[in-house]
Amino acid sequence: MKEKLRIAFVGCGQFCRNFVPLFKAHPAVEFVAVCDKFPERAKNFKEWYGADMIFDSFDDVIASSEINAVAIFTQRDLHGVMAIAALKAGKHVYSAVPMALKTEEIQEIVRLVKETGLTYMMGETGIYRPASIFCRQKYATGEMGEMVYAEAQYNHDMKRLYDVFKYTEGDKWKMMAGLPPMLYPTHSTSMVLSAAKAHAIKVAAFGYEDKMDTDIFGEGMNYWDNPFSNTAMLLKLSNNAVIRISENRRVAWHFPETYITSFNCTKASYECSLVQHSYLTMNEKGLVDYEDVSDLLNPMELTPHKNDPDFLKKVVNGTWCNTEAPIQAITRLPKEFDGLGTGHAGTHKFMVDDFCQAYMSGKLSPTNAWQAARYNLPGLTAHKSAMEGGITLDVPDCGDTPEGMEVLSADRIVNEVDYR
Ligand SMILES: NC(=O)c1ccc[n+]([C@@H]2O[C@H](COP(=O)([O-])OP(=O)(O)OC[C@H]3O[C@@H](n4cnc5c(N)ncnc54)[C@H](O)[C@@H]3O)[C@@H](O)[C@H]2O)c1
């Protein structure tokens, strides 16, 4: 029996608080530590979630023999360097998205995971979202034919980012708000690319130059001299399809945050508008059959409210968006998760369980280093394209998962490893 996970959380901020209780409850985990550069935050986490230990610094975390895994929940620019340092110190790594903001860091993580055989998982919500599961499963059966085109986007208005980051150090929230949108592309890329079972080979992108917050966007105003709040990219995929991905941070939109608008193939298509999910198939007479798959894909807490007078108004303001949908295989989750909170369309429990299952089974996680690289690198290259007026660029690739390494399926309906 493999030793259980002894995991340290680095970055006790907003997002991390959703995950400590889940890891702590998971039967593959026996020890949970916390660390934040503001000691008060780590102290609060220890009290709130009953963590076993506090580390004073990230350096102490990776030097410690008390733990065998690190969960990185710091700000986006730190994920790459911290993952690299943790892997070099022999720790398994769970990292919040994005994988890293630099191509070289992504390549280094892939190299280290290959060299060490350690478990790495980028905790990406997109692939566990119902629409991604639906397109992935339908396309894999072959009944949709050849993929030709798809569209996805992540809409997250700046005001909501301000609200999160204004509570962090000094004016860092301003700097984070100025992050080039395409350096955080994984929610939308992962939804489509995991369904397509393909990766991007070429990209061209354009950005929306934001003139509203001149103290955030433009030369000298953020870490990246980034002028864009929104960027859209067109990608040519390895399977010949073309996709459009948009990352919008200045948009009057609240929910759904990340979604596939269309996934078009030669024999069938998935289409979505708000909470209306449609599956269209071409029949033998050349006519199109229609199937309403909304109840399968919408959160279970939403469907009973379909006839409420203010139904769509509540939907667009994010009501009923957090529980699982019938398409998500909740029965495979450990019973210890019962009654605990989830989030982002019911995805949190799946991410935690898949990291633990990957570690225990010795398989690669669904969002392993190679796959994560393919969700991140198109965005990094798209930002360069947008900064150069939309030129077409080749997307770097770290290749397929090495031969002989098995990947844990995110769509399994029963778990593989008995933890006890
Ligand atoms: N849907 C999603 O997948 C999703 C949603 C929200 C956030 N995120 C990701 O989660 C990460 C955290 O987001 P957040 O909203 O919790 O941010 P946050 O600013 O609330 O929390 C980050 C924490 O990291 C701490 N920190 C920074 N540097 C540190 C260091 N060197 N050592 C120890 N602690 C350090 C900060 O003090 C802060 O408490 C972000 O990178 C974001 O990309 C992902």
Tell me which of 104-108, 243-247, 252-256, 372-376 is least confident. 252-256
Does 359 fall in a domain? no
Does 348 fall in a domain? no
- The predicted pLDDT at position 44 comes to 98
Ligand 1 neighbours, Cβ below 6 Å, are 10-16, 35-38, 41, 58, 73-76, 78, 96-97, 125, 164, 168, 344
Given the CA of residue 186, which atom of ligand 1 is nearest to it? 3
Chain segment 177-203, per-residue pLDDT in tens: 789 999 999 999 999 999 999 999 999
The residue contributing the CA closest to ligand 1 atom 29 is 37
Given the CA of residue 17, which atom of ligand 1 is nearest to it? 16
Chain segment 282-324, per-residue pLDDT in tens: 999 989 999 999 999 999 999 999 999 999 999 998 899 888 9
Does 335 fall in a domain? no
Does 385 fall in a domain? yes
Quickly state the pLDDT bin for 100 (edges 50, 70, 90): very high
Residue from 9, 15, 18 to probe ligand 1 pocket by mutation (most atoms less than 8 Å from CB): 15
Residue 297: domain span: 126-329+369-394
- The rounded Å distance from CA 144 to ligand 1 centre is 39
Residue from 9, 14, 367 to probe ligand 1 pocket by mutation (most atoms less than 8 Å from CB): 14
Residue from 20, 38, 43, 73 to probe ligand 1 pocket by mutation (most atoms less than 8 Å from CB): 73
Given the CA of residue 97, which atom of ligand 1 is nearest to it? 43
- The rounded Å distance from CA 75 to ligand 1 centre is 4
Quickly state the pLDDT bin for 37 (edges 50, 70, 90): very high
Quickly state the pLDDT bin for 331 (edges 50, 70, 90): very high
Given the CA of residue 172, which atom of ligand 1 is nearest to it? 19
Same domain, 183 and 194: yes
Given the CA of residue 347, which atom of ligand 1 is nearest to it? 1
pLDDT averaged over the chain?
Answer: 94
Any bridge partners for residue 311, and if so which? none
Residue from 18, 37, 57 to probe ligand 1 pocket by mutation (most atoms less than 8 Å from CB): 37
Contact status, residue 181 vs residue 249, Cβ threshold 8 Å: yes
Q: Which of 123, 155, 178 is the last residue of a domain?
A: 123
Does 228 fall in a domain? yes
Question: Measuring CA to CA, which residue among 59, 16, 57 is closest to residue 168?
Answer: 16
Does 38 fall in a domain? yes
CATH number at residue 376: 3.30.360.10
pTM exceeds 0.85, yes or no: yes
- The number of distinct structural domains making up the chain is 2
Q: Which of 68, 97, 123 is the last residue of a domain?
A: 123
Does 55 fall in a domain? yes
Same domain, 274 and 130: yes
Same domain, 208 and 285: yes
- The rounded Å distance from CA 74 to ligand 1 centre is 3
Same domain, 66 and 138: no
Same domain, 163 and 107: no
CATH number at residue 32: 3.40.50.720
- Mean pLDDT for the stretch of residues 206-222: 88
Quickly state the pLDDT bin for 170 (edges 50, 70, 90): low
- Mean pLDDT for the stretch of residues 387-411: 97
Same domain, 144 and 101: no
Same domain, 105 and 160: no
Same domain, 271 and 374: yes
The residue contributing the CA closest to ligand 1 atom 5 is 15
The residue contributing the CA closest to ligand 1 atom 23 is 11
Same domain, 95 and 234: no
- The rounded Å distance from CA 149 to ligand 1 centre is 34
Given the CA of residue 258, which atom of ligand 1 is nearest to it? 1
Q: Which of 123, 143, 175 is the last residue of a domain?
A: 123
Return the higher-pLDDT residue of 157 and 164: 157
Same domain, 163 and 282: yes
- The predicted pLDDT at position 256 comes to 75
Given the CA of residue 12, which atom of ligand 1 is nearest to it? 39
Q: pLDDT over 70 for what percent of the chain?
A: 95
Same domain, 162 and 274: yes
Same domain, 188 and 286: yes
- Mean pLDDT for the stretch of residues 49-76: 97
Quickly state the pLDDT bin for 166 (edges 50, 70, 90): low
Does 414 fall in a domain? no
Chain segment 238-271, per-residue pLDDT in tens: 999 999 999 999 998 877 789 999 999 999 999 9
Chain segment 231-240, per-residue pLDDT in tens: 999 999 999 9
